[in-house]
Amino acid sequence: MTEMTILAFALVAFIGIATPGPTVLLALTNGSRYGVRRAIAGMVGAVLSDFVLIGAVALGLGALLAASEFWFTVVKWLGAGYLAFLGIMLLRSKGTIQVANEAGGAAPVSSAAIFLKSFLVAVTNPKGYLFFTAFLPQFIDPTAPQASQYAMLALVFAVVDFNVMFGYALLGAKAAAFLKRSGAVWLDRLCGGALLALAGSLALYRRAIA
């Protein structure tokens, strides 16, 4: 795998990741609610999901979802349901966790919960498996050992993903600091509405038929 291939992959990955999707919206929300430092747990969860998705595609799971209407539908509705749940929770938000705690409200959310939320959002999205199934082979040399190539692409994608999410989390933290409580409520609701819209688009998403 040449340096030009890796650079081209990183550029295309950056464009795809930076386009607002569930994981970057969660990074934005986590940054606004918990601060960048605690939002890192969610970034780690999303990065781990990158390795899971790419590993699954390398083992053929992406092809299975592309071929099986049943399993595609199962994963699709799991993902849409979870995104809808997160969106509703954000729409019902009363502001940042820090503000709630200062007022004697909700208990702080654990780093494990932040991690798991981001991880589950990615691994229950069948579009991710289909995306990698179509995307990764464009950068794989079929005449060379493929395991090492998939590992390299997974590492590059994870690095790009983490940095993009870090930027979104930082943006969310800065916005929360600027907007204070009332603005944080509306930021949560904006992200919640976006997650609900993504849940709806996923629910309507149809597997491409060859």
Query: Would you say residue 157 has pLDDT above 90?
Result: yes
Portion of the chain with pLDDT greater than 90, in percent: 18
Confidence of residue 166 (pLDDT cuts 50, 70, 90): very high
pLDDT of residue 155: 94
Nearest to 103 by CA among 42, 49, 184: 184
| Average pLDDT for 197-204 | 69
Nearest to 16 by CA among 168, 161, 166: 161
Residue with tokens 């430092």: 37
What does the CA dihedral 91, 95, 97, 98 come to, rounded to 10 degrees?
Answer: 170
Crossing angle (nearest 10°) for helices 69-91 and 22-34: 30
| Average pLDDT for 76-104 | 61
CA separation for the pair 53, 75 (Å, rounded): 13
Higher-pLDDT residue of 99 and 139 is 139
CA separation for the pair 193, 165 (Å, rounded): 19
Confidence of residue 44 (pLDDT cuts 50, 70, 90): very high
Q: Which residues, in sequence order, are CB contacts of 158 under 8 Å at separation 6+?
A: 47, 50, 51
| Average pLDDT for 56-68 | 70
Query: Would you say residue 71 has pLDDT above 60?
Result: yes
What phi and psi, each to the nearest 5 degrees, are found at residue 36? -60, -40
* HSE (side-chain half, CA atoms, 13 Å) at 34: 22
Asked whether 187 and 32 are in contact (CB, 8 A), the reply is yes
Higher-pLDDT residue of 86 and 2 is 2
Nearest to 50 by CA among 107, 121, 101: 121
| Average pLDDT for 167-191 | 72
Higher-pLDDT residue of 70 and 27 is 27
Query: Would you say residue 36 has pLDDT above 50?
Result: yes
Higher-pLDDT residue of 145 and 162 is 162
Asked whether 176 and 183 are in contact (CB, 8 A), the reply is yes
pLDDT of residue 160: 93
Q: Which of 116-125, 186-195, 200-209 comes out lowest in average pLDDT?
A: 200-209
How far CA 131 is from CA of 2, 26, 125, in Å, comes to 22, 20, 10
Confidence of residue 179 (pLDDT cuts 50, 70, 90): low
pLDDT of residue 119: 92
User: Which segment, 2-11, 73-82, 179-188, is predicted with the most confidence on average?
Assistant: 2-11
pLDDT of residue 124: 81
Confidence of residue 42 (pLDDT cuts 50, 70, 90): very high
